[in-house]
Chains A and B, each alone.
Chain A
């Protein structure tokens, strides 16, 4: 019985290691809804099934076996899509854990963004945006989705308003009484000092 137990134990991990790939290696998404079309054909065989949202979407590209040469970036805001599947060399995102450089082949990551500068590097040109906050989802197939609530090119920022805001919120922090007021003042200071360093740095 002990011999059989060790055999079973030895068998199980080998099977598991071979059959279960990494959870970050996603298979390519399907482009048509197979179960829906089958069910439709059973009930209404004479008509073509309507297209489902799945068939309008572009399927997710599979994770390639070798690292691709370009990173594909989707940068979206609630009111516009700044970059849509744009192929770039690198993006530097202002994550809460610091400036994070994303190259093709980056490990799959989800990062929360803090107010800061997002720079997109394509060849020799660098495009910079100031991002208010958001998230970046980096997928294993070298696609990066950056979603932000507000993102502006740096030349649209007014340095005087930034300085004034910084001074305002610094005084509000010392005069604040409730936790909420102090938190709001602290947010103001964080955002304005990030704006300041974006304009001067």
Chain B
């Protein structure tokens, strides 16, 4: 079994498949006509809260709502 089989260029550059797939999907969404573009971009918005934990207790949580990024 060839373990050095030809890898895709994105994996050779250190990118994972998920990252590649998300980049492709974002590019396609950016090429949509309105109003489809607005729907698609709003569908992919994520909101999440992050909190660091120390000594088994969470510190103050920060609420982030980044626009979809790879």
Chain A residues within 8 Å of B, Cβ to Cβ = 79, 115, 130, 132-134, 149-150, 152, 156-158, 161-162, 165, 179-180, 182-184, 186-188, 191-192, 195
Contact = CB atoms under 8 A, between A and B. Distances in A.
A109 to B, nearest CB: 18
A89 B13 CA distance: 40
A192 B27 contact: yes
Given A179-B13, A179-B14, A180-B14, A161 B31 contact: yes
Interface residues of B, number: 23
Contacts of A192: 27, 31
Q: Which 9 A-B pairs have the closest CB atoms?
A: A183-B13, A150-B25, A179-B13, A149-B25, A132-B24, A132-B28, A132-B25, A158-B33, A161-B31
A68 to B, nearest CB: 32
B20 A187 contact: yes
Identify which of B9, B20, B28 gathers the most chain A CB atoms within 10 Å of its CB. Answer: B28
Given A152-B32, A191-B27, A133 B20 contact: yes
B24 A184 contact: no
A180 B29 CA distance: 21
B69 to A, nearest CB: 12
B13 A195 contact: no
A184 B28 contact: no
B30 A161 contact: yes
Contacts of B13: 179-180, 182-183
Contact of A165 (B15, B25, B30): B30
Interface string B7-23: 00110111100001111
Contact of A184 (B21, B23, B30): B23
26 contacts: A115-B28, A130-B28, A133-B25, A134-B21, A149-B21, A149-B24, A149-B25, A152-B36, A156-B33, A158-B32, A158-B33, A158-B37, A161-B30, A179-B12, A179-B13, A179-B14, A180-B15, A183-B12, A183-B13, A183-B15, A186-B10, A187-B20, A191-B24, A191-B27, A192-B27, A192-B31
A157 B15 contact: no
B57 interface: no
A195 B28 contact: yes
